[in-house]
């Protein structure tokens, strides 16, 4: 992984949103002595942003319909798991 490639994914890395292979490549890149082209600074900046995301957004109480939809989808998912002859919702064989 190059420094440019690292900086392209550093936000996702800081959020823990990379798959195992991508995360390992970032870890290996950072472990390499370098010279680096601002990778550590980019990571510090990305971590600062990700740490502050929760306080940057105002709290919102979802409408009751949102909770109803979540409940229905959870019920559907549980029903699909109990029926081995039927693939889970949204998937095809």
User: For 62-84, what is each residue's pLDDT tens digit?
Assistant: 899 999 999 999 988 887 766 56
Q: What are the helix and strand counts (H, E) for the chain?
A: 4, 0
Rounded-to-10 torsion of CA 46, 49, 53, 57? -140
Contact 39, 6 (CB under 8 A): yes
Write down the pTM of the prediction. 0.61
Low-confidence winner among 49-53, 65-69, 81-85, 89-93 (lowest mean pLDDT): 89-93
């Amino acid at each position: 992984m190059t420094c440019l490639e690292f900086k392209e994914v550093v936000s996702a890395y800081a959020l823990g949103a990379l798959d195992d292979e991508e995360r390992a490549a970032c870890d290996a890149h950072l472990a390499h002595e370098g010279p680096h082209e601002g990778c550590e600074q980019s990571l510090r900046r990305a971590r600062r942003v990700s740490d502050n995301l929760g306080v940057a957004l105002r709290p919102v109480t979802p409408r009751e319909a949102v909770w109803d939809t979540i409940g229905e989808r959870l019920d559907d998912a549980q029903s699909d798991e109990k029926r081995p002859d039927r693939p889970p919702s949204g998937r095809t064989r």
